[in-house]
Amino acid sequence: MSGTECIHGFENQLCDSCFPKAAPVKPVTRAASTSRAKRVPGAPRASSSKMPALADQRVYHVTHISNLENILLTGQLVAAAQIESPILDVSSPLTREMRGTASLSTGETVDRYVPFSLVPESNTWRELRDGAGEPRWSDAARAASSSDFVFLVTTIRALGTDAVLADGDAAAGETIFATDEGAMTRMLGNLRADELTEDAEVLIHGSFAFDEVQLVGVASDKARDRVKELLDAASFVTKVAVYPPWFIQ
């Protein structure tokens, strides 16, 4: 075990438990008579030097373990529009329709992008893990166990220059998109300051090479053994780590 590897098997400070992110800096409350500069609406907020830079921001894609074999066979994560019949489809027909009709400024529909979240405890994963009772989820999602899902972890740097940051559900009408590095950096700073990272999505058009996945997070030793078998069969050496906190309600 290397000096930067934690007890959960993560390396390079990937573990949010052993290497917690710095807490957002809260403004100090001052007396009403104290004069201070007010932030102009729409202006970027000050960022903490302890926060990871945009390129090093971790991102997370959750998929059912039954879909992992096909991902490894093709060597890539593929946008929903390019998948005719996933082995286990967690999205309801309503969600498929919404993401197939909502468009980005590029003119491409949302379902032509592979989605990632900025945090492991995203709102979509929380819904899915806790029973998938919302209309966005399929009957198969409601019947699935959270321990049968896996986290595919990478960074915005690995996604490349074509990554798009959405400040909320990418299919929602009011969502704002950032497509260049400067806009993405400002949006990410605002999301962190307002503690809204749980709703945001990072999108990559078309597909994403599995070679760029840095770690697969799983719920149990049984799941780790299964994932390692699939990785070996596909000749991938991606690290697998058991991290139950991501899967527990």
Contacts of residue 99, Cβ cutoff 8 Å, sequence gap at least 6: 80, 91, 109, 110, 111, 170, 171
| pLDDT digit string, tens, across residues 110-149 | 999 999 999 999 999 999 999 999 999 999 999 999 999 9
> Residue 227: pLDDT above 90?
yes
When pLDDT is averaged across residues 157-174 and rounded to a whole number, the result is 95
Condensed to tens digits (0 to 9), the pLDDT of residues 62-87 reads 999 999 999 999 999 999 999 877 88
Domain boundaries, the chain: 56-247
pLDDT of residue 50: 55
β-strand partners of 78: 207
Give residue 40's pLDDT band: very low, low, confident or very high (50, 70, 90).
very low
Q: Span 56-247: which CATH code?
A: 3.20.170.20
**Computed from CA positions of residues 132, 136, 140, 146, in that sequence, does the dihedral angle turn out positive or negative?**
negative
Look at residue 11 in the predicted model and tell me its pLDDT.
Answer: 58
| pLDDT at residue 24 is higher than 80 | no
